[in-house]
Chains A and B, each alone.
Chain A
Amino acid sequence: MESGNSTYVDKKNALEWVVAVTGLVLVLIIIGYLTYKTITVSEGPPQLFLEYFHEPGHYEPNRYHIIVHNKGAETAESIIVEMALEKGGEALEVAQLDVAFCPKESYREGWVSFLTNPSEADTIKARVVSYNKP
């Protein structure tokens, strides 16, 4: 009720104005950004690719650092990454990395360790074995 004899005085101090304007600006920026993403991002499954490099640790000399990138428009869940050391077409050793989630446009990191020295292998292969739609 906004009656003529209302006792409510609608005035704010500078701090309240600053907080209110900050809130308004935040809402506008976030909605603007989400609208832009809604318009520009195309639908489609996750697009995963791997980066990996030898990164020996003090206690793990045969350790590899694996980075899982998702360039798709959807999040991938329960990703299984397999890395194999091969020699003459035969697998010397296979290691597996499980990643819980890799959200769209983000990346996740992990490490795998081998018992075999990678220098004994002539080929090192890594691939994404499977993932779910959350």
Chain B
Amino acid sequence: MEKRQDSNRPISESQEEYGRGIAGGLLFSFPLLYTMEVWWSGFIARPFELILVILFTFLLLLGYNRYAGMHPEANWRSVVIDSFEEIGIGFLLAFGILLMLGRIDFKTMSLIEIVGKVVVEAMVVSIGVSIGTSQLGMSPEYEVNNGDKKKEIKQLEEERQHSLFGLLILGICGSIVVGGNVAPTEEILMIGIEAKPIQTLVMALVSLALCLLIIFYSDFRGGIKEGSKVAARILLLHSSLSYLIALGTSALVLSFFGRFDNTSFSVNVSQTIALGVLSSLGASAGSLLIR
């Protein structure tokens, strides 16, 4: 359900929204909250890297809320306020779950260790909260009875989501939510080291095929059936863009988790392509699912 805000908004409606947000946050981030490599990266990361993580997460939340998470006519002020709500819930949720799991111990751990763990975990939790708030529950509905106005809002929403920046933001969110669950694990490094060039090539082709398939069957089906050349060109463009976003996000996340430290360029490329299989699924399917 799209977030709606009005002057007489009952508290119970906000509570429902937060409930959906918490459910979404946990749904997308539980694998990461239970992964020890993520706890480690929290205390291995330098403080300025953690600041970058917070800023990057906040920018993604702003972008997601602007392009998909909120009412298409919502102004920037509302987008910023909602993003603070979501990042705040993300921090509290990550802290609570880590405490419950015994990953936070005030006796033996320093404050920087605790803050590091919470910040890294809160990244995906916050994005999950944002997606959950806007996507879990009922289908979109707008508070207008005028049919033309409804159509206008829907058109605005679609235009925004199909814009280059909209695709980029939704693709990055999808990639992080799907690929981020695997990125910190040793398995990606193992695949990267052991993969033969032919296997890496197949992984890249499968990723591209996944993007093409998902975007074809969910986004441009109507246009292609009509035999539109423009739609076919856009399909290819969007698939390539989704894969590029997936590779870029994979490289960024792997680099943050220290998977590029002291490894050769070819291993780094193999790791990026291996993670890219999942991230491409996130960038194409994810960006469609989380609209």
Encoded as 1 (CB less than 8 Å from any B CB) or 0, chain A from 93 to 113 comes to: 000000001011111110000
* Number of A-B residue pairs with CB-CB distance less than 8 Å in the complex they form: 135
Encoded as 1 (CB less than 8 Å from any A CB) or 0, chain B from 1 to 36 comes to: 000011101110011001000000000000000000
- Taking the closest CB of chain B, its distance from the CB of A76, in whole angstroms, is 10
Tell me if A24 counts as interface (CB < 8 A to partner B): yes
Contact A15 B73 (CB under 8 A): no
Within 8 A of A (CB), among B219-267: 258
Tell me if A119 counts as interface (CB < 8 A to partner B): no
A31 — which chain B residues lie within 8 A by C-beta? 51, 54
Contact A20 B5 (CB under 8 A): no
- Taking the closest CB of chain A, its distance from the CB of B246, in whole angstroms, is 27
A26 to B15, CA, bound (A): 20
Segment with Cβ contacts to A, from B87-95, B189-197, B201-209, B210-218: B87-95
A15 to B16, CA, bound (A): 12
A22 — which chain B residues lie within 8 A by C-beta? 88, 92
Contact A11 B7 (CB under 8 A): yes
A5 to B115, CA, bound (A): 45
A7 to B89, CA, bound (A): 28
Contact of B84 among A3, A14, A27 (CB under 8 A): A27
Contact B89 A19 (CB under 8 A): yes
Segment with Cβ contacts to A, from B75-83, B169-177, B281-289: B75-83
Counting chain B residues whose Cβ lies within 8 A of the other chain, the interface size class is 35 or more
Contact B46 A38 (CB under 8 A): yes
Contact A12 B109 (CB under 8 A): no
Number of interface residues of A (CB under 8 A): 41
Contact A7 B11 (CB under 8 A): no
Contact of B87 among A23, A37, A106, A107 (CB under 8 A): A23
Tell me if A129 counts as interface (CB < 8 A to partner B): no
Contacts A15-B14, A27-B58, A106-B110; A75 near B43 (Cβ below 8 A): yes
Contact B153 A7 (CB under 8 A): yes
Contact of B109 among A11, A14, A106 (CB under 8 A): A106
Contact B43 A10 (CB under 8 A): no
Contacts A26-B91, A107-B108; A19 near B115 (Cβ below 8 A): no
Encoded as 1 (CB less than 8 Å from any B CB) or 0, chain A from 41 to 53 comes to: 1000000000000
A86 to B208, CA, bound (A): 65
B108 — which chain A residues lie within 8 A by C-beta? 106-109
Contact A12 B73 (CB under 8 A): no
B165 — which chain A residues lie within 8 A by C-beta? none
B72 — which chain A residues lie within 8 A by C-beta? 1
A104 — which chain B residues lie within 8 A by C-beta? 43, 110, 112-113
Contact of B110 among A8, A30, A103 (CB under 8 A): A103
Encoded as 1 (CB less than 8 Å from any A CB) or 0, chain B from 40 to 52 comes to: 1001101110110
Contact of B85 among A3, A10, A19 (CB under 8 A): A19
Contacts A7-B73, A23-B86; A12 near B115 (Cβ below 8 A): no
Contacts A23-B84, A27-B87, A33-B111; A13 near B43 (Cβ below 8 A): no
- Taking the closest CB of chain B, its distance from the CB of A85, in whole angstroms, is 27
Contacts A103-B109, A103-B113, A106-B113; A13 near B47 (Cβ below 8 A): no
Contact of B47 among A2, A38, A103, A134 (CB under 8 A): A38
Q: Can you pick out 17 interface pairs between chain A and chain B where the beta carbons lie within 8 Å of each other?
A: A9-B7, A12-B9, A13-B9, A13-B14, A16-B9, A16-B14, A20-B84, A23-B88, A23-B91, A26-B87, A103-B44, A103-B112, A104-B43, A104-B110, A104-B113, A106-B110, A134-B258
List the 4 closest A-B pairs by CB distance, nearest first: A23-B88, A105-B110, A103-B43, A23-B84
